[in-house]
Structures are given as C-alpha cells and as structure tokens.
Amino acid sequence: MDRHDENVPDYFDLPTVGDTGERSAWGVFGADDNFGCLNFLTEERVAAAARLVRTGRSFGLDLPLGEPQPQFWAMRPSLQHSVRVHRHGRDDHLNSFYMQGSTQWDGLRHVRFRKYGYYGGVDEAQLDTSDAIGIDHWAQRGIIGRGVLVDVANYLASLGRPIDPTHTLEIDVALIEATLAHQGVRREAGDILLVRSGWLAWYTRLSAEQRQAIVTNYEADRSSFHAPGVDPTLKTVAWLWNSRTAAVAIDTPTFEVLPFDPDRGWAHHRMLALLGLPLGELWWLEDLSRHCREVAQYDFFLTSSPLRLPKGVGTPANAHAIF
C-alpha cells in the first residue's frame, strides 16, 4: 500500500451520512478537499504510469465537440461554432457550449446528496460564494496516471454473448474482474478505469432520425430506456473505493445502468457526491480498444486536461491514451 493510503479507511469503515446509512469519504482527505479520489493519483503513481510509454503511439478519447447529435438531454441545445473572417485571419467562438454535452467528466459540483450537500458537505451557498470543489482545481494538476481499459464488450463477445445496446446490462464487480482477468490486467491503486460497453459506437452508427427518436422517447419516459452501465450497488462501490480507484469513465451518456432502480441506489450519489470519484461519460474507446487487442496491452499512460473554469461543474475530457 502506498504511504498516502495508510490513513484511508476501507469502505465499510467510512462514516455514514445522517440517518441515510450511506457512507461518505467527506473529510478523509481534509476538511477543504477539492480532489476526492484524485488524491489517489500520487506523484509516485503518476511517475510509474509514465513508464508505460514505450512506443509513443497515442489515441484521442474524445468525440468531436458537439457530438453526439442531438444532445442527449433536451435542456442542452446543440453547439454552434461561428467563425469571423477579418483582414488578418480568423477568430471563432462557441455558443451553447455545454461542458457535459460530449465526452466529459462530471465534477464535484454536479450532484448533491439530498439535503446534506455536495462532496464534503458543501452547500449551495458555498458554491455561490467560493471556488470550493470547482473543476478548475482539477485543471491545475490534470487527471494523469495509469489508464486501464475494461473492454467488457470485447470480453462478452468472445464468449458468444455480445452486448445488446438496447438492453439493460449491469457492469458489476464480477464482470469487471472477469474482463480484467481475460485481458491479463492486474489492478493497481490509483488506476483510471475506462469501461467499454460499445454503446457509443452503436449510437453513432444510427441515422439522425433514429438518434432523435431515442432522445425524444427518453425525455418522455426515462423508465422506457434500457442501456448498459455501471452497477451502483454497495458491492461495486466498495470495490472501487477499496482498490483506490482514482476515476471511472464509460462510453454511455448516463454512466448508470438503465433504467434506474431506486432500490439499488444511484451511482452519481454513491460515487461522485459521497466518495468524490470522478465519473466520465460518452468517452470514445473504439480506436483504443482495437489497439489494445492488437498489442495485447490494456494499460497505458492516460492524460486528461480539464478546462480551468472557475466554479466549473463539468469539463470536456481532453484525454489521450499513450503507449
């Protein structure tokens, strides 16, 4: 165990919040912590991850800004890119640039845990009057470390059980561990997990009309939408915390397995708000997946540069995997 982990309790030793029975890491990294599980990305672990770079081959993990279209949430209109041509060249600007409209990280200001507040117990008034838990804190250090592709789609396909993107699939601890074993990957503290379900590749192949119908139906009745996603139950959450996971991203628009089942809990509450675990959505993992299979290597040096936006809630990932 890294010396920085010595005073980090196991999940079921964390204190509970109010009378909810839910456990939180509030205060584990200090009263004014802005980083949550990114604290597991110690300098020693970043340096070790950098030693994974051998060939210099890199893969971008972001969609083009503004994709997918339409935006999956009706409250986020489409990105508009305007260019002004003048005598010396060009300038451009963006309208309707939603930080979480494409490949992105959810920051610690994104979700509140009921009446108890955001990560660390921060309340709405503190968010309005201070820079507490803003995305700009992450930008100053970056999200940099050992990335691990958890290619669930490829693993299940190899068993003759390909994922149907229109059906519910809970990506739980057992499935994650089986996938890692199939790939020959050993977990390490401070890992940044990238979970591939194949959902985004399927969605981008649909026609504009088919995508619009999916979004429209989802907005009308969210219980009717079925998709793979990360299991939010305590077993999965405890495993992520106890293995000192720094962040998790997936190639779906909601991170959660859908439809949402309140009896099983909400990953955004348990992981993001209570543990401070950054959650990524809509990550493009197809090119990375092909390369990992070709070279039989599923770990790599990962860099992600959040936007330095004061009081920011979310950010484009701006991520690369480097071998």
Q: Has residue 145 been placed in a domain?
A: yes
- Cβ(35)–Cβ(29) below 8 Å: yes
Q: How many CB atoms lie within 10 A of CB 3?
A: 8
The total number of structural domains in the chain stands at: 1
The pLDDT averaged over each successive group of 10 residues in the chain (323 residues) is 74 97 97 97 98 98 92 75 92 90 96 97 97 97 98 98 96 98 97 98 94 86 90 97 98 93 94 98 98 98 97 97 98
* Integer CA distances (angstroms), 27 to 146, 277, 319, in order: 25, 14, 29
27 phi and psi angles, rounded to 5 deg: 95, -15
d(CA 244, CA 246): 6
- Cβ(23)–Cβ(271) below 8 Å: no
d(CA 318, CA 299): 18
Q: Has residue 80 been placed in a domain?
A: no
Radius of gyration, alpha carbons of the chain: 19
d(CA 137, CA 310): 8
Query: So what's the pLDDT on residue 220?
Result: 83
Query: So what's the pLDDT on residue 75?
Result: 63
d(CA 263, CA 274): 18
Q: Has residue 212 been placed in a domain?
A: yes
**Residues in CB range of 38: below 8 A, 6 or more apart:** 138, 141, 143, 246, 247, 276, 278
Token readout for 110 is: 């994104």
Query: So what's the pLDDT on residue 72?
Result: 73
Q: Has residue 74 been placed in a domain?
A: no
Q: Has residue 82 been placed in a domain?
A: no
Query: So what's the pLDDT on residue 4?
Result: 61
Q: Has residue 92 been placed in a domain?
A: no
Q: Has residue 72 been placed in a domain?
A: no
Nearest-5° angle of CA 15, CA 10, CA 143? Answer: 100
Query: So what's the pLDDT on residue 1?
Result: 47
Q: What is the CATH number of the domain that holds 119?
A: 3.50.30.50
3-state secondary structure of 151: strand
Which domain does 297 fall in, by range? 3-65+99-322
Query: So what's the pLDDT on residue 9?
Result: 97
